[in-house]
């Protein structure tokens, strides 16, 4: 465990340096990216100098990096060039919505995908398996924004069952249970879009693993022991099919938190980290990019750690292999 | 789990789906009487904190701030009108403006507005440069008495009323005098102004703003109690408008007529958003003026407007200013009508000859040009670029199209690493001084053409000419020379439309709001007409 810990720390430091360097390697600079587009503003030399100084762009790169690391240890993620607020404040205003949307989507699609995958794999070749398989394969082909627009048009515009935009009804003065209902109502369509998109992946992965596991001798033994079908499916075969799905989810989680949601956020005007990072790229907002990449890095490293620990529970053989 | 369980599971899921919506619907019908709220849909939503130094450097950011802060003068359908200043006169001998300020005006916190606030604001922007005003033009602001201010300029500046007095928000001295970092000033005092609305809430993540009427506004209480800005995807905004969820939003041209048929009022912006073909006149073959002319004759602008924009655009004027600029617009320039034969003639006169593959070449080198598609990379830009490529290849110039990420493209243009680039910007609707910014100034939207000394002289001169007639003549001459030199080719001016339900009479202010921002949400629309 000690060596694993060191590995994580080294990985973290390298990623920290890359997170600092990569945004600065992009063509274009924050000053032009943020202030260049509007022809009516008056970019006087005095203003340009002031902005360059406040962005720290006049300092040599190594000095900028050390300042960044230093303030990081103080818990200060810097000040956004574009949003003109502390980076931490900006991230914290978007992150909860992303966790709500993506977290729920991941959980729902994970649970549904695994259950359907187990059922399908158990009944491989039969009618229910075939129909589920065909259904899922067709779903996996749709891009997220297409599904989103489709659901929005049908359930939002035509049937008027759900709101057309936002995470909640702005300034409606709701609180308590009313607010909860409002947020849930706004959550349904973007959530359904993401679940549809994620579901097929988890399902197919579980099903294919299940199909191989079912042929293992221990399943025959379990049957011979007289255990119920359901118990064998879940407690014995199913549990052993989880490892690929858990690995895949762990790998996807960190990046999905940001990139996966962007198109859905645009279609539904939903707040989230996707839009924050996309805007930061367009405005070359280095502090926000560094901050968001840092958050993603920490999340990915933590999830990796959890997946590592989960392996031991799912398959005790891996513990002894270490 | 048996088949029955799966089916039951799915049925339960679907049932809870519908239960959620039904319950949700019921909740929304239990409403207390709502204040009169006017809701505007915006595709971006977040334009920054609406204080003078907190807003993002874009037009809509300025508009948000304009609801809260008043300026010395403002604009309505007729032109410049009094705002915080009742009367004003230009004292030619001193190159100063004397403003007589309105009495009995209060800030949102009840403090009285006086000349001290005006004097303070002018000196504050000298110390802390403000984005929309070049404070070097102001020499000093002098308090004459409690309600009179004399503003001395450092040089003659013709657009002072339009671009400074009508743009600069007056800050309350008592709240800003100790603020050393204005961009970081986000406490409640930062959004206290003399405007008709007070800020109630700004939510960055959701991109929403809520304003409340300031009942002690000097022009009377606004006709709505609240204004609400919501972030809404432009594809869904028309549906929201039809459902009555919002009162106004901008609509894409192709559904403009449909919205009109549905009974909505359409406001049409006087075109001032130009789609421009930038030419790298610093390198061959573009250094030759005649070559640039050949390009202009080769491009079928009428066709592009018809096919790409389906008529929702105005053909570009070679002198840069659009026809909607009225007296400032000069119509006498050669409009470079589509004439492929003439274009070929010019190329052949320049020494190019058709090669065996049908493309022009000189000294064995084929004419191979790259057309960069710059920001914003929307579909109409790509289509327009494709049509330009077709036109130019039609007369024998080989074109390679390249589409880059917006900011990368901008930076390549900024550093002169391009042949031709298709870009665009808004702002030509404001004061003609914008021509100086887009012809000689150093930014990627500018033609950056300073080779014609007379043109440069005229551009720097027009801003000093206090006589309108003289200035108009100069601006006409500027357009004439520009049309002759043609450092860039204006392809067309986009038409923008807003649809609203007529609850409030919105209108596009001639010459734009503030520094020339073309949106129909003038705060005056929300007041009783005078």
pLDDT at A103: 87
Q: How far apart are CA A259 and CA A319, in angstroms?
A: 33
Record: contact B408-A33, CB cut-off 8 A? no
All CATH 3.90.76.10 domain ranges in chain B, comma separated: 70-183
Which residues 203-222 of A are in CB contact (within 8 Å) with B?
none
Distance from CA of A28 to the nearest CA of B (A): 5
All CATH 3.40.190.10 domain ranges in chain B, comma separated: 35-68+195-269+498-530
Q: How far apart are CA A263 and CA A275, in angstroms?
A: 9
Residues of A in contact with B133 (CB under 8 A): 42
Is the CB of A126 inside 8 Å of chain B's CB atoms?
no
Record: contact A166-B206, CB cut-off 8 A? yes
Which residues 166-195 of A are in CB contact (within 8 Å) with B?
166-168, 170-171, 178, 181-182, 184-185, 188
Residue with tokens 């709240």, as numbered in its chain: B175
Q: Where are the beta strands (DSSP E) in B127-214?
A: 138-145, 148-153, 197-203, 208-213
B147 Cβ neighbours under 8 A, 6+ residues apart: B100, B101, B102, B103, B114, B115
Q: How far apart are CA A181 and CA B319, in angstroms?
A: 57
In order along chain B (530 residues), what is the average pLDDT of each group of 10 residues? 74 73 49 78 94 94 96 95 96 96 96 97 96 95 96 96 96 96 91 96 94 95 95 91 94 92 94 94 93 95 94 93 92 87 93 89 88 79 94 94 88 93 91 94 91 95 94 95 95 94 94 93 91
Record: contact A165-B57, CB cut-off 8 A? no
Distance from CA of B441 to the nearest CA of A (A): 10
Which string of DSSP letters, residue by residue, matches B428-464? TTS-TTHHHHHHTSSSTTS------HHHHHHHHHHTT
Is the CB of A228 inside 8 Å of chain B's CB atoms?
no
Closest residue, chain A, to B273 (C-alpha)? A39
Q: How far apart are CA A82 and CA B57, in angstroms?
A: 9
Picking from B4, B14, B44, B129 by the largest number of A CB atoms within 10 A of its own CB, the best residue to mutate is B129
DSSP 8-state symbol, B189: G
Phi-psi region of A148 (alpha: psi -120 to 50; beta: other; left: phi over 0): alpha
Q: Which long-range contacts (CB under 8 A, 24 or more apart) does B526-530 make?
A: B526/B38, B526/B196, B526/B197, B526/B222, B526/B223, B526/B224, B526/B227, B527/B196, B527/B217, B527/B219, B527/B220, B527/B222, B527/B223, B528/B219, B528/B220, B528/B223, B530/B219
pLDDT at B397: 93
Residue with tokens 């064998």, as numbered in its chain: A232
Structure token digits, residue B462:
């027009």
Which residues 155-184 of B are in CB contact (within 8 Å) with A?
183-184
Identify the CATH assignment for B70-183 out of 3.30.310.10, 3.40.50.10090, 3.40.640.10, 3.90.76.10: 3.90.76.10
Q: Which candidate from B132, B133, B231 shows the least CB-CB separation from A166?
A: B231
pLDDT at B29: 47
Q: How far apart are CA B210 and CA B203, in angstroms?
A: 9
- Phi then psi for residue A8, to 5 deg, are -60, -40
Structure token digits, residue A53:
């100084």
Residues of A in contact with B232 (CB under 8 A): 164-166, 269
CA dihedral A119, A122, A124, A126 (to 10 degrees): -70
Picking from B41, B205, B225, B321 by the largest number of A CB atoms within 10 A of its own CB, the best residue to mutate is B205
Residue with tokens 């992009």, as numbered in its chain: A26
CA–CA distances in Å: residue B144 to residues B70, B141, B415, B441 = 21, 10, 49, 37
pLDDT tens-digit profile of A165-200? 999 998 888 888 999 999 999 999 999 999 998 898
- Phi then psi for residue B204, to 5 deg, are -65, -50
**What is B35-68+195-269+498-530's CATH number?**
3.40.190.10
Record: contact B210-A170, CB cut-off 8 A? yes
pLDDT at A138: 87
Is the CB of B438 inside 8 Å of chain A's CB atoms?
yes
Distance from CA of A302 to the nearest CA of B (A): 26
Is the CB of B35 inside 8 Å of chain A's CB atoms?
no
Contact (CB, 8 A) for B486 and B296: yes
Is the CB of A44 inside 8 Å of chain B's CB atoms?
yes
- Phi then psi for residue B177, to 5 deg, are -65, -25
Distance from CA of B148 to the nearest CA of A (A): 27
Nearest to B225 by CA among B522, B526, B499, B529: B526
Residues of A in contact with B515 (CB under 8 A): 40-41
- Phi then psi for residue B302, to 5 deg, are -60, -45
Contact (CB, 8 A) for A219 and A234: no
pLDDT at B147: 96
Query: Is the pLDDT assigned to residue A1 strictly greater than 60?
Result: no
Residues of A in contact with B425 (CB under 8 A): 37-39
Distance from CA of A35 to the nearest CA of B (A): 6
Is the CB of B92 inside 8 Å of chain A's CB atoms?
no
How many other CB atoms are there within 10 angstroms of residue A207's CB atom? 24
Q: How far apart are CA B181 and CA B187, in angstroms?
A: 12
Distance from CA of A251 to the nearest CA of B (A): 27
Picking from A33, A39, A114 by the largest number of B CB atoms within 10 A of its own CB, the best residue to mutate is A39
Helix, strand, coil content of chain A in percent (nearest 5):
80, 0, 20
Residues of A in contact with B201 (CB under 8 A): 171
Which residues 235-254 of A are in CB contact (within 8 Å) with B?
none
What is the interface size between A and B, counted as CB pairs within 8 Å? Answer: 170
Q: Which candidate from A40, A82, A170 shows the least CB-CB separation from B430?
A: A40
A23 Cβ neighbours under 8 A, 6+ residues apart: A281, A284, A286, A289, A290
Q: How far apart are CA B54 and CA B46, in angstroms?
A: 12
Which string of DSSP letters, residue by residue, matches B387-402? HHHHHHHHHT-EEEEE
Per-residue pLDDT, averaged over A41-49, amounts to 92
B23 Cβ neighbours under 8 A, 6+ residues apart: A181
How many other CB atoms are there within 10 angstroms of residue A37's CB atom? 24
Which of helix, strand or coil describes residue A257? helix
pLDDT at B349: 93
Structure token digits, residue A127:
């009618």
Closest residue, chain A, to B31 (C-alpha)? A172
- Please state whether the peptide bond connecting residue B285 to the residue before it is cis, i.e. omega within 30 degrees of 0: yes
Query: Is the pLDDT assigned to residue A261 strictly greater than 90?
Result: no
Structure token digits, residue B452:
């014609």
Is the CB of B56 inside 8 Å of chain A's CB atoms?
yes
**Dihedral sign (CA B27, B28, B30, B35):** positive
pLDDT at A304: 80
Distance, first Cα to last Cα, chain B? 74
Partners of B513 in beta bridges: B517
- Phi then psi for residue B268, to 5 deg, are -110, 125
Picking from A42, A76, A119, A176 by the largest number of B CB atoms within 10 A of its own CB, the best residue to mutate is A42
Is the CB of B377 inside 8 Å of chain A's CB atoms?
no
CA dihedral A3, A4, A9, A10 (to 10 degrees): 70
Contact (CB, 8 A) for B477 and A69: no
Categorize the per-residue pLDDT at A318 as very low, low, confident or very high, splitting at 50, 70 and 90: low
Nearest to A76 by CA among A92, A88, A93, A62: A88
Superfamily of domain B273-494: Dipeptide-binding Protein; Domain 3 (3.10.105.10)
B362 Cβ neighbours under 8 A, 6+ residues apart: B285, B350, B351, B352, B353
Q: Which candidate from A39, A181, A282 shows the least CB-CB separation from B425?
A: A39
All CATH 3.10.105.10 domain ranges in chain B, comma separated: 273-494
Q: Using H for helix, E for strand and C for coil, what is the string for B219-246? A: CCCCCCCEEEEEECCCCCHHHHHHCCCC
Record: contact B135-A166, CB cut-off 8 A? no
Distance from CA of A7 to the nearest CA of B (A): 36
- The average confidence (pLDDT) of chain A is 87
**Dihedral sign (CA A289, A290, A291, A296):** positive
DSSP β-ladder status, B248-251 and B37-42 = parallel
pLDDT at B30: 47
Q: How far apart are CA B168 and CA A6, in angstroms?
A: 57
Residue with tokens 């598609």, as numbered in its chain: B373
Q: How far apart are CA B477 and CA B452, in angstroms?
A: 13
Cα atoms found within 13 Å of the Cα of residue B524, Cβ hemisphere only: 21
- Minimum mean pLDDT range among A117-126, A243-252, B192-201: A243-252
State the greatest distance between any 2 C-alpha atoms of chain B, in Å, as a whole number: 96
């Amino acid at each position: 465990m000690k060596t694993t810990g060191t590995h994580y720390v080294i990985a973290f430091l390298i990623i920290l340096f890359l997170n600092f360097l990569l945004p600065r390697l992009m063509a274009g600079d924050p000053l032009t990216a943020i202030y260049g587009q509007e022809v009516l503003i008056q970019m006087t030399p005095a203003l340009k100098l002031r902005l360059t100084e406040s962005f720290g762009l006049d300092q040599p790169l190594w000095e900028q990096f050390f300042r960044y690391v230093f303030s990081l240890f103080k818990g200060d993620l810097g000040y956004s060039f574009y949003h003109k607020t502390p980076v931490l404040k900006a991230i914290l205003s978007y992150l909860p919505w992303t966790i709500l949307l993506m977290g729920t989507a991941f959980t729902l699609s994970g649970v549904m995908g695994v259950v359907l995958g187990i059922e399908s794999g158990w009944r491989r070749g039969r009618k229910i398996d075939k129909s589920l398989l065909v259904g899922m394969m067709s779903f996996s082909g749709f891009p997220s924004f297409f599904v989103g627009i489709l659901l929005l048009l049908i359930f939002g515009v035509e049937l008027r069952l759900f709101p057309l935009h936002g995470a909640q009804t702005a300034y409606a003065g709701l609180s308590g249970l009313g607010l909860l209902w409002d947020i849930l109502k706004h959550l349904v369509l973007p959530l359904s879009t993401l679940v549809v998109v994620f579901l097929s992946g988890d399902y197919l992965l579980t099903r294919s693993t299940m199909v191989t596991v079912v042929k293992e001798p221990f399943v025959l033994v379990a049957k011979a022991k007289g255990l119920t079908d359901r118990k064998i499916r879940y407690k014995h075969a199913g549990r052993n099919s989880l490892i690929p799905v858990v690995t895949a989810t762990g790998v996807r989680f960190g990046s999905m938190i940001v990139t996966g949601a962007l198109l859905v956020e645009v279609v539904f005007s939903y707040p989230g980290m996707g839009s924050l990072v996309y805007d930061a790229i367009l405005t070359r907002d280095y502090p926000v990019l560094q901050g968001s990449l840092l958050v993603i890095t920490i999340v990915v490293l933590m999830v990796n750690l959890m997946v590592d620990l989960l392996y031991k529970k799912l398959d005790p053989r891996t513990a002894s292999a270490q | 789990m048996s088949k029955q369980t799966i089916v039951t599971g799915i049925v339960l899921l679907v049932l809870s789906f519908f239960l959620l919506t039904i319950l949700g619907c019921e909740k929304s019908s239990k409403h207390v009487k709502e204040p009169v709220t006017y809701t505007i849909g915006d595709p971006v939503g977040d334009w920054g904190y609406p204080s003078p130094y907190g807003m993002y450097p874009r037009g809509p950011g300025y508009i948000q701030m304009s609801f809260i802060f008043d300026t010395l003068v403002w604009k309505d359908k007729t032109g410049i009108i009094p705002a915080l200043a009742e009367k004003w006169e230009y004292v030619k001998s001193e190159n100063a403006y004397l403003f007589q300020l309105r009495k009995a005006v209060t800030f949102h916190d009840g403090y009285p507005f006086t000349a001290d606030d005006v004097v303070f604001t002018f000196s504050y922007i000298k110390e802390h440069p403000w984005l929309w005003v070049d404070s070097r033009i102001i020499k000093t602001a002098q308090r004459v008495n409690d309600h009179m201010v004399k503003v001395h300029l450092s040089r003659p500046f013709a657009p002072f009323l339009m671009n400074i007095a009508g743009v600069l928000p007056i800050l309350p001295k008592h709240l800003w005098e100790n603020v050393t970092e204005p961009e970081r000033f986000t406490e409640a005092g930062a959004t206290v102004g003399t405007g008709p609305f007070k800020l109630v809430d700004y939510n960055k993540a959701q991109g929403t703003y809520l304003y409340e009427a300031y009942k002690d506004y000097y022009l009377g209480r606004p006709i709505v109690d609240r204004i609400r800005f919501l972030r809404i995807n432009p594809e869904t905004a028309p549906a929201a408008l039809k459902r009555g969820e919002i009162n106004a939003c901008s609509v894409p041209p192709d559904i403009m007529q449909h919205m009109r048929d549905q009974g909505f009022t359409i406001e049409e912006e006087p075109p001032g958003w130009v789609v421009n073909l930038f030419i790298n006149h610093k390198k061959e073959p573009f250094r030759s003026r005649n070559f640039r002319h050949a390009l202009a004759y080769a491009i079928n602008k009428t066709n592009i407007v018809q096919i790409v924009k389906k008529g929702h655009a105005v053909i570009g004027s070679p002198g840069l200013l659009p026809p909607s600029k009225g007296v400032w617009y000069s119509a006498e320039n050669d409009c470079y009508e589509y004439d492929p034969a003439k274009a070929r003639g010019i190329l052949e006169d320049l020494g190019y000859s058709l090669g065996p593959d049908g493309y022009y070449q000189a000294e064995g080198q084929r004419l191979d040009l790259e057309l960069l598609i710059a920001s914003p990379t929307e579909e109409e830009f790509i289509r327009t670029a494709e049509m330009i490529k077709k036109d130019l290849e039609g007369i024998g110039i080989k074109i390679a199209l390249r589409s880059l990420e917006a900011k990368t493209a901008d930076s390549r243009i900024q550093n002169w690493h391009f042949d031709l680039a298709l870009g665009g910007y808004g702002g030509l609707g404001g004061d003609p001084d914008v021509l100086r910014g887009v012809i000689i100034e150093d930014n990627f939207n500018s033609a950056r053409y300073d080779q014609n000394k007379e043109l440069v002289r005229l551009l720097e001169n027009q801003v000093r000419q206090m006589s309108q007639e003289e200035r108009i003549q100069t601006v006409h001459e500027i357009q004439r020379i520009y049309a002759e030199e043609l450092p860039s080719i204006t392809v067309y001016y986009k038409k923008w439309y807003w649809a609203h339900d007529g609850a409030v009479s919105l209108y596009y202010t001639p010459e734009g709001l503030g520094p020339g921002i073309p949106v129909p949400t003038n705060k005056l629309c929300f007041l009783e007409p005078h």
